[in-house]
Amino acid sequence: MSILFKGRMQGAQVSNISLYQRVVMFFVSHLRQALSSLGAMWRSRAASLMTIGVLGLSITLPTTLYVMVKNVEKISSGWEQASQISLFLKPNIRQGDIDQLLKRIQLWPEIDAINYISSEQALNEFKDMSGFGDAIAYLDDNPLPNVVLVTPTSRHASPVSARLLLDRLRDEREVDIGKLDIEWLERLHGILNVVKNLVSVVAILLFLAVVLIIGNTIRLNILNKKDEILVMKLVGATDAFIQRPFMYTGFWYGFLGGVLAWFAVILLLLWMSNSVSAVSALYQKNFEITGVDFSTFLWVIGISVFLGLSGSLLSVKRHVREIEPK
């Protein structure tokens, strides 16, 4: 409805169409504008491709790092389940007592398996493995203790319950020292956390760069179309109407950049998977890189589109307003 002239209809009201048709028209006109923005990008392919490339690669780096951190976490969680407890027995206890201990703790429900290594066995093994065999022959007596290796059942293999089990085992009369083999895991977790923070910082910096790049590209688009925008304003276009195609351009940059990033990540991981499987074969582990699933895909596209839209919004809010007929 016109502001100045009561009863003068403007726009769609004139044709007296139904609400349903108007809703349909709304979506049709948005779709048309989205496609025409895509068409405009196609007409300046080279420039558009460069922008999309910058965007895609900027998103590829943090995504790849993220996938790698996720995978390292997965490996380490696999090892955490197999944590072992080493019990060093007191010296000078009789073999009968040791047998008693082994029989007793074997029955504990928390324990899956035990492996007894006598001091003689350990010494022999050490002689064979270390190459100090001759030197060891000079020792008066065996300095190594008897050791029991305890593997907890999977239900009690988490760091907390394994620690509880360790405390109980330490209370046994024959046990001198007990050690849990997960301290290095905790260190690994610490390092992983540092890496994760690093990934976040890198991601934030790159995302900011993307927003600025898109903002600048859209700014140039707006300045290129300055004359057209002036004419549109003269014949009564609202800022929102003028902004829409630029917002769609930002959307497409984001979307296509995201798709490009996705393919780049997949290629990178494929390329790396050969070397990764070579390493994991050395550890006799079957390991496949994961994390490249549909939900990650949606996240990458979502973030990318969000960045594209923010960049163009930033530009459009400033520059479309600035262009006024004089």
Partner 1 sequence: MIKFEQVSKTYPGGQQALRKVNFHIEPGEMAFLTGHSGAGKSTLLKLISIMERPTVGKVFINGHDLGSIQRKQIAYIRRDIGMIFQSHQLLMDKSVFDNVALPLVIEGYSHKEIAKRVHAALEMVGLRDKVKSLPMMLSGGEQQRVGIARAVVNKPPLLLADEPTGNLDPKLSMEIIRLFEDFNQAGVSVFIATHDLGLIARMKYRTLTLKQGQMITDGLTEDFQSDELYD
The contact set with partner 1 (CB under 8 A) reads 2-5, 8, 10-12, 14-15, 17, 25, 29, 227-228, 230-239, 241, 324-326
As given in the structure block, the two tokens for residue 90 are 């007191």
Toward partner 1, which CB reaches closer, 167 or 228? 228
Q: From the CB of 21, what's the least distance to partner 1, in Å?
A: 8
In angstroms, give the least distance from the CB of 246 to partner 1. 16
Cβ proximity to partner 1: between 108 and 241 the closer is 241
Closest approach, Cβ 224 to partner 1, in A, equals 11
Shortest gap between Cβ of 12 and partner 1 (angstroms)? 5
Of 123 and 237, which has the nearer Cβ to partner 1? Answer: 237
CA distance 154 to 49: 52
What are the backbone dihedrals phi and psi of residue 176, each rounded to the nearest 5 degrees, phi first? -90, -60
Contact 148/104 with Cβ under 8 angstroms?
no
Number of alpha carbons in the 13 Å side-chain half-sphere of residue 180: 24
Contact 105, 171 (CB under 8 A): no
Distance, CA of 108 to CA of 53 (rounded, Å):
61
Burial of 241-262, coded b for 16+ CB within 10 Å and e otherwise, reads ebbbbbbbbbbbbbbbbbbbbb
> Which lies closer to partner 1 via its Cβ, residue 39 or residue 325?
325
Enumerate long-range contacts of 132-137, CB under 8 Å, 24 or more apart. Answer: none
Shortest Å distance, C-beta 315 to partner 1: 20
Toward partner 1, which CB reaches closer, 17 or 281?
Answer: 17
